[in-house]
Structure 1
Amino acid sequence: METTTSPPSSSSKPPLNIAQIFFKPIKKSAPPSPTKRHTKISVIGVGNVGMAIAQTILTQDLADELALLDSNPSKLRGEMLDLQHAAAFLPRTRILASVDYSITSGSDLCIVTAGARQNPGESRLSLLQRNMTLFKQIIPPLASNSPDSILLIVSNPVDVLTYIAWKLSGFPSNRVIGSGTNLDSSRFRFLIADHLDVNAQDVQAYIVGEHGDSSVALWSSISVGGVPVLSFLEKQQITYEKETLESIHKSVIGGAYEVIKLKGYTSWAIGYSVASLARTLLRDQRRIHPVSVLAKGFYGIENQEVFLSLPTQLGRGGVLGVTNVHLTDEEAHRLRESANTILEVQNQLGI
């Protein structure tokens, strides 16, 4: 006999939640552990860089909740759905997206990748002024919705924009960090490892200063497998050409330009770089990264409020300290010159 189900009347009981039907509850003997932490990361800007960062954060299981924010609602929803559809292949992470800054509320870490693109023939200063205007719209609502978060700036030029974010947020300087030369140093380690035919993880090497043309390669502190490279060569009376070292540094600076020329943008390497920073910060790993921090008081940079990359210990509180790496006189001089280069740009902006 065929039966039909009539629609429920207004007096009918509301249907049970399907999860309540599917699972048989157990009697709770104790409340949930108060030590369990819910980690939330927000990514502002869903361009190529922002999505590479988001994708890497998901695959490395760094957050319980990932919020995406952008001014383009259709692209934003498309990116959110594309990631949500991969849920069966990823660690469990709640993925949200909105054009409203309230979506970022309660974030432990806010990663800013949004920024204006340089128009043909446009000066660097003009681009910076447009990005400063954009940051005036982005940073205050982020700080308001997540007053205890760490701000991680990835947008370029990263050093000046990190300084602007610090000023606009009102956060203490230890909770405002720029991605800086973390990726430059990774390229540096790769090139040295490739030159010596060793694993890049066995190479300790830093690029510091500006994330740009005035960056400084700390050759004097490079070690491979714990062996200081330059002092070892000198003890073995092995001569090396300074031009060879400089050519490696130039390859580091030109690395991003080459990738942009070949594929139009950089994405994967910066995605892994920023994910490594997120892991160190949120899991309190206290690792040392060359990132853009307030440099005043370090390495002879005495009276300048400028952000540039220094070897920095990071943890759950943000910047925990700056490593006292020995610099040669030439390296220290170049670092101060790099600080002056950034400061000149800041002064032109009138901030």
Structure 2
Amino acid sequence: MVNDRKIAIVGCGFVGSSSAFAIMQSGLFSEMVLIDVDRNRAEGEALDIAHGVPFASPMKIYAGDYSDVSDAAMVVVTAGAAQKPGETRLDLVNKNVSIFKSIIPNIRESGFEGVLLIVSNPVDVLTYAAVKMSGLPEGRVIGSGTVLDTARLRYMLGEHLDVDPRDVHAYVMGEHGDSELAAWSSATVAGVPLNDFCELHGHHDHKATEKRIAEEVKNSAYTIIEKKRATYYGVAMTVRRICTAIMCDEKCALPVSSLMVGEYGLDDICISMPTVVGRDGVVTRVPVDIDEAERAELHESAAALRAIMDKVDFEA
């Protein structure tokens, strides 16, 4: 039986521990189990985070193993080899698919019936691997996708236009990585088309600005990794946001990565698209109106992922 107040996090590195810390403060759960190949690391992180509980909501936080995930409402997988300076997310694929072969079957064999959230990179490929290895209904396996990329885009547009980024509505779609695309044609600010809003504020060089901001969004992780060796705070807030959407059954639109079954002409591939997310994971895709050039970019992004996936053995 699923315990709606329980979550498990697999992987206690920078991303996993930061995500656990963010989730502890969310009030969404009353029980959290941390799992890591280094049991001492998991125990240390659990103790450290638990000491903040008196300033948040009551919560049982402890280190455990895969038998502890059987009744969890959600399992968040952050485990994997870290992205190194100069290394793309797709360079990680073979190392991390191998690691998943020691993780996902254990989750499956525990009897887990909740929602599986994949955060490890390359997230689109690993979400596909989790779909194939977990035995869960495809809609209950989702990746964090371009939710963080989209937040970065909204933040940078907010800075550019001197407006609250929460009023910026724009998506990054495709691969969470080098071939991602910003869907400029559907972007709005407070309901006003982006270009119209820009012109109201004296910004007229749309193409050059779009190119600059899109490159800054795409390269954000590389910039942060170069300066501090890892990204984790933004990812942790992304994990918390997705968990909130699921556990509160918000049915909100987030650009998560999930298995395509014909949308935009894409099939049998996990890629990030605006998706309505609720208690059981994927509710439906949002048919965002993108122009022909963006549609072509989306298919190029899918092709880049497919070229990698075709070289990977996904059998657990």
Report the TM range for the smaller structure's normalisation.
over 0.9
Deviation at 1:238, TM superposition (A): 7.8
Identity %: 40
Change (3 A) 1:195 1:88: same
Alignment coverage as a number of residue pairs: 312
Deviation at 1:143, TM superposition (A): 2.1
TM-score (norm 2): 0.93
Contact 1:108 1:146 in 2 (8 A): no
Q: What are the ranges of 5 or more consecutive residues in structure 1 without an aligned counterpart?
A: 1-36
What residue is the counterpart of 2:181 in the other structure? 216
Change (3 A) 1:238 1:57: closer
Cα distance per residue 1:281-335 (max 9 Å; x no partner) = 011011110110112311122xx31111000000001000000110100011100
RMSD: 2.2
Q: What are the ranges of 5 or more consecutive residues in structure 2 without an aligned counterpart?
A: none
Deviation at 1:241, TM superposition (A): 3.7
> Are 2:60 and 1:94 aligned?
yes
Contact 1:80 1:96 in 2 (8 A): yes
Change (3 A) 1:144 1:50: same
Alignment partner of 2:120 out of 148, 155, 164:
155
What is the CA–CA distance in structure 2 between the aligned matches of 1:331 and 1:298, rounded to whole Å?
A: 15
> Are 2:38 and 1:80 aligned?
no
Contact 1:207 1:216 in 2 (8 A): yes
Deviation at 1:122, TM superposition (A): 7.9
1:332 counterpart letter in structure 2: R
Contact 1:97 1:103 in 2 (8 A): no
- What pairs with 1:195-214 in structure 2 (closer than 5 Å)? 195-214=160-179
TM-score (norm 1): 0.84
Change (3 A) 1:57 1:243: same
Contact 1:220 1:230 in 2 (8 A): no
What residue is the counterpart of 2:153 in the other structure? 188
Structure 1 or 2, whichever has the larger Rg, is: 1
1:94 counterpart letter in structure 2: K
Larger RCO (CA within 8 A; separation ≥ 6): 2
Change (3 A) 1:140 1:334: same
What is the CA–CA distance in structure 1 between the aligned matches of 2:158 and 2:85, rounded to whole Å?
A: 37
What residue is the counterpart of 1:348 in the other structure? 311
Contact 1:112 1:155 in 2 (8 A): yes
- What pairs with 1:108-123 in structure 2 (closer than 5 Å)? 108-117=73-82
Query: Bigger CA drift: 154-163 or 86-95?
Result: 86-95
Cα distance per residue 1:167-206 (max 9 Å; x no partner) = 0001111001000100000000000010000001111010
What is the CA–CA distance in structure 2 between the aligned matches of 1:315 and 1:56, rounded to whole Å?
A: 20
